[in-house]
Amino acid sequence: MKLNRIFILFILLLLGILFYGASYLGYIQESYRKLQIQITDPSIKTVLMTEEHKDFGLRSSPGFLYSQPSLLEGRTDVVSITPWLAPIIWEGSFDSTLIDSIYKQQNITIATTVFALGKYTRFLKEFLESAEQHYFVGFRVRYYLFTDQPEEVPEIKLGEERYLTILKVPSLDRWQDISMGRMEILEKLTKSEVANEADYIFCLDVDTKFYGPWGVETLGRLVAVIHPWFYDYPRDQFTYERRPESQAFIPVGEGDYYYTAAAFGGLFKEVHELTKYCRERQSIDASKAIEALWHDESHLNKYLLYNKPSKLLSPEYLWRDISSSTRHVKVIRLSHVAKNNVEVRPNA
């Protein structure tokens, strides 16, 4: 009998603990709820007003059909803006005196990445020297140079507040892999400490040279450059990836502009999203043994179709060749340099 009583007491004790525990947990829930209410207390509004609570990107849905935007036709007064009201930068559309003064006050830093693997190191001298002459002159620039041969990087005299960091990366046998591999490296870079050292980032091809001013008119949340060979093509002739098996697939009937992967930029957060997207999609394609028609450029175009850039740079900002010109491109700022593909690429 005594044993029974002990057991009964023991069970009662356990029940007691149970109830206490349940009420304690209920109390905790309550106090967390109170804290949640505290957050909306106006006395701490100054802290929270600066918190980013919404994502203001310009996302658009796949399969959504509408007339192709034009660069040359339509109201002649509107070629400098996209149908989603992003500016398209052409000479004459901005006043550099004005905007330089606006940005000079903000003490900004522009990070700039460039990849020079294998024989591509030969392009570095002209790229960097011309950049020092034309690229964000008067502003703080940090170059991040990725190469598999750091010893091949030439000595370049940099201006005041211009810095160069050399980052060693492994060699690769295929130029397509080098091109696509950039995405993963950039994805990581845009989440690294580098993001704390600069406000904007641009990713440029190294086999290029500056011939004209490239300044703060190019800065924006997410900036894309219109490909110099396709700016007057109808969208159905854009060299998008057209195979549905690829992640980069864009159907005929869709498309705004054909963008180049040789130059793109924006805020770190945005460029991170873009490069992450491309890297992920490239991986999926690779696992299915498929490679998009224009590699990272195909994936970039897909991203930018559904995540619209906030600013477009006209082909002045990445031209075909300094020796050619069209009536629309009055200033050439950055241009591909002539190269012998066979000679300079690691593979055909």
Partner 1 sequence: MQHQNVYSFLLVLIGMSLAGVIYLGFSSTWSSRSKDYQGITILSKSEISGEQRKCSNSSSGAKENQKILYLQSPQGLLYKQPTVVGPDGPVSLTPWLAPIVWEGTFDPTIIDPIYKQKNITIATTVFALGKYTQFLTAFLESAEQYYFVGFRVYYYVFTDKPKEVPLVKLGKARHVVVLNIPSSNRWQEITLRRMKMLENLIEDRLAFQADYIFSLDVDTKFYGRWGVESLGRLVGVIHPGYYQTPREQFPYERRLESQAFIPSTEGDFYYGGAVLGGLVKDVHELAKTCREQLDIDAAKSIEAVWQEESHLNKYFLYNKPSKLLSPEFLWQDFKAKTNEVKIIRFSQVIKNYAAVRPNP
User: How many whole angstroms separate alpha carbon 139 and alpha carbon 123?
Assistant: 23
Helix (H) or strand (E) holding 202: strand 200-204
User: How many whole angstroms separate alpha carbon 69 and alpha carbon 79?
Assistant: 9
**Shortest CB 55 distance to partner 1, Å:** 7
Is position 51 annotated as part of the catalytic site? no
63 binds partner 1 (CB under 8 A): no
User: How many whole angstroms separate alpha carbon 103 and alpha carbon 95?
Assistant: 13
Q: Say which of 270, 297, 316, 343 is annotated catalytic.
A: 297
Considering the complex, state which of residue 3 and residue 342 has its C-beta at the smaller distance from partner 1: 3
Q: How many CB atoms lie within 10 A of CB 212?
A: 17
Q: Which of residues 168-227 bind partner 1 (CB under 8 A)?
A: 191, 195-196, 199, 217
Q: Is residue 117 within 8 Å of 172, Cβ to Cβ?
A: yes
What single-letter DSSP state applies at residue 296?
H
340 binds partner 1 (CB under 8 A): no
Considering the complex, state which of residue 93 and residue 171 has its C-beta at the smaller distance from partner 1: 93
- Using CB under 8 A, which of the segments 38-46, 122-130, 140-148, 276-284 binds partner 1? 38-46
Q: Which of residues 76-135 bind partner 1 (CB under 8 A)?
A: 76-78, 80-81, 83-87, 89, 93-95, 97-99, 101-102, 105-106, 108
**Strand ranges, E, within 32-74:** none
**Shortest CB 295 distance to partner 1, Å:** 28
User: How many whole angstroms separate alpha carbon 169 and alpha carbon 184?
Assistant: 12
50 binds partner 1 (CB under 8 A): yes
Q: Which of residues 254-273 bind partner 1 (CB under 8 A)?
A: 267, 269
Catalytic residue set: 297
